[in-house]
Amino acid sequence: MKVMSNKDEDIPEVKKSHSAFKLERIKIPHFDGKMSEWQTFHDLFKSSVHLNSTLSGAEKLIHLKTYLTGDASSIISAFTVTDDNYKEAWKCVRKRYSNKREIIFSHLRKFDEIRNLTCESASGLRSISDGLNECVRSLKVLKVPVQHWDLIFIFLTLKKLDGDSRREWLLEQKDDDEIPTLEDFIQ
């Protein structure tokens, strides 16, 4: 090891070595057409396959056909596997599913479809809280300005709570004039 002098202290020079640790290859999820899952599929497929310069267009099309299932697969089922057809097939899939409004609606719908609680339940409350957090995070990633939606989310979530849990939350509110925040609500 070589030692280099740096003013008052000696700093050892460290040689870079290759680690024996290797990351496991990322699995691309299959995509069946659920809009709430599109962005994950799109980003992983794009980085792993679409931008992979070592793959031919035909190979990329085979991968695309492999990862699309259900309704999503019907979009490209008529494309024969050729280099030229890949770009058109990927364009068709993106055109169908890169619809920001529908993606946003799918996240809101997913939260809306969480079952209402009929009785007090820790696991039920956790499920609603997790669903609310997932919805808010997903919308933020899509650059939806949810920072002013606290009351709307609180209102929608209170409708999902059983009567006892809703009453308990309302009794905890000390100041009727203070507008609750989502952060305080979720705690």
- Token pair 């609750």: residue: 180
Quote the mean pLDDT of the chain: 88
In a domain, residue 124? The reply is yes
In a domain, residue 164? The reply is yes
**128 and 143 belong to one structural domain:** yes
pTM above 0.85, yes or no: no
In a domain, residue 25? The reply is no
Residue 140: CB atoms within 10 Å? 12
Radius of gyration over every alpha carbon of the chain, rounded to an integer in angstroms: 25
In tens, the pLDDT along 120-173 reads 889 999 999 999 999 999 999 999 999 899 999 999 999 999 999 999 988 888
| pLDDT, position 145 | 94
Residue 12: what are its φ and ψ, rounded to 5°? -70, 140
* DSSP helix/strand/coil, 68: strand
Report the distance separating Cα 54 and Cα 67, nearest Å: 19
| pLDDT, position 184 | 80
**50 and 91 belong to one structural domain:** yes
**113 and 92 belong to one structural domain:** no
- What domain count does the chain have? 2
In tens, the pLDDT along 21-74 reads 777 888 999 999 999 999 999 999 999 999 999 999 999 999 999 999 999 999
In a domain, residue 133? The reply is yes
- Per the structure, the complete domain to which residue 144 belongs is given by 101-186
**70 and 116 belong to one structural domain:** no
**115 and 168 belong to one structural domain:** yes
Report the distance separating Cα 1 and Cα 131, nearest Å: 54
Whether the per-residue pLDDT at 176 is higher than 70: the answer is yes
In a domain, residue 145? The reply is yes
**83 and 156 belong to one structural domain:** no
Report the distance separating Cα 29 and Cα 40, nearest Å: 8
Evaluate whether 55 touches 62 at the Cβ level (below 8 Å): no
